[in-house]
Amino acid sequence: VFGLKEEAGAPPHREVPIKDDWPGYSLDLFSYPAHYSGDLDCVIIPHGVIMDRTERLARNIMDDLGNHAIVVLCVLKGGYQFCADLVDRIKDLSHNSNRTIPMTVHFIRLKSYLNDESTEDLHILGGEDLSFLAGKHVFLTSFTVKKIVAFAESQTIGNICLCRFVLSDVGFEIPNRFVVGYALDYNEYFRDLSHICVISDTGKMKYKI
């Protein structure tokens, strides 16, 4: 999660860096669907760590924007799991605090990858008119950010705070490797994987289109 345009006076956030030369956790240490045997190299971020970090991100949001209404813009499909978990954590904190955050959730959908390559042809469904976001605190849950930001800014949206789980100021900064799991896919496979993992060359060839 990161803030592309931070509010004046907002406290800085830190990401959790994962070094480029870190080999990841052995798959033998974790449970994962047997139908992906041989399709993964390692676990980059275990599910439990994801959930703990999401809890911290929710607390940061509460600290920064408690009592201010926000719009959560969930980018399907890869962002749906993080969006759901983050919203749940914020709701839990709001129910047990004097500070609350009124939230609405809006969904857009895009496809930006073919196999493991990002494509220039980005189709956004549900984003035809985002003018209602103008002037609001917007949290965007997505892994494909730059093109969406350019699109959102072309819609003259005001304050945009981007919430992205990987490669971010507040979430995790990971090596430049193709990762799957936690709703991130490779040609629609691996969304049912709880951990964030590195796909193997065997997996790429197996599910290549």
- pLDDT (tens digit per residue) in 32-59: 999 999 999 999 999 999 999 999 988 8
CATH class for the domain made up of 16-206: alpha beta
Mean pLDDT computed over every residue of the chain:
79
> pLDDT-based confidence at 1, cuts 50/70/90?
very low
Q: CA-CA distance, 51 to 139, in Å (whole number)?
A: 18
- Containing 141, the helix (H) or strand (E) segment is strand 137-141
- pLDDT (tens digit per residue) in 171-183: 788 888 899 999 9
Q: CA-CA distance, 23 to 132, in Å (whole number)?
A: 44
Query: What percentage of the chain carries pLDDT values higher than 70?
Result: 70
Q: Is the pLDDT of residue 17 over 50?
A: yes
Residue 8: count of CB within 10 angstroms of its CB: 4
Residues in contact with 58: Cβ distance below 8 Å, sequence separation at least 6, in sequence order: 86, 89, 90, 92, 93
| Beta bridge partners of residue 117, listed in sequence order | 114
Q: State the pTM of this model.
A: 0.80
Least confident of 4-13, 63-72, 128-137, 188-197: 4-13
Q: Is the pLDDT of residue 3 over 70?
A: no
Give the pLDDT of residue 207.
Answer: 95
